[in-house]
Amino acid sequence: EDQLLESGGHVVQPGGSLRLSCAASGFSFSTYAMNWVRQAPGRGLEWMSTISGSGASTYYADSVKGRFTISRDNSKNTLYLQMSSLRGEDTAVYFCTKDKFRLIRSPFESWGQGTLVIVSS
């Protein structure tokens, strides 16, 4: 069974930085693309970023491009999201997700429980 466990959420000041982690288990981590999806309080779901299984390809939402960096360490079965120049509108629960298929187009089959990031002075 797929297991995804996010960590690293915290209260951070505007302009600050934070790194989120997602520890994965129960599947062959390096063969699946992984994603970050966020949800602001009381709002809907917003896709943030995707990284291929090898880490060679990455994709970002315009709202975070240039500020957030997705990466992975396949030797540690861990996904990361490095967040910088944080703004109040980045306040959200951040979910790590695993693709269902080993294809460029795939649903998000498995989700972590989420980690809360609050950007506030």
CB nearer to other proteins: give 32 or 60: 60
Scan residues 26-85 and list those touching other proteins (CB under 8 A). Answer: 35, 44-47, 50, 59-62
Residues in region 1-30 near other proteins by CB under 8 A? none
- The amino acid that residue 66 corresponds to is G
Residues 6+ apart with CB under 8 A from 21: 6, 7, 8, 78, 79, 80
Smallest distance, other proteins to C-beta of residue 94, A: 11
Q: Which two tokens stand for residue 81?
A: 């999201």
Rounded-to-integer distance, Cα 106 and Cα 90, Å: 25
Q: How far is the CB of 43 from other proteins (least distance, A)?
A: 9
State in angstroms the smallest separation of the CB of 108 from other proteins: 6
Nearer to other proteins, 17 or 109 (CB): 109
Query: 36 and 8 in contact (C-beta within 8 Å)?
Result: no
- Least Å from the CB of residue 93 to other proteins: 9
Residue with tokens 């505007």: 14
Amino acid identity, residue 51? I
Task: Summarize as ranges the residues that interact with other proteins (CB under 8 A).
Answer: 35, 44-47, 50, 59-62, 95, 100, 105-109, 111-114
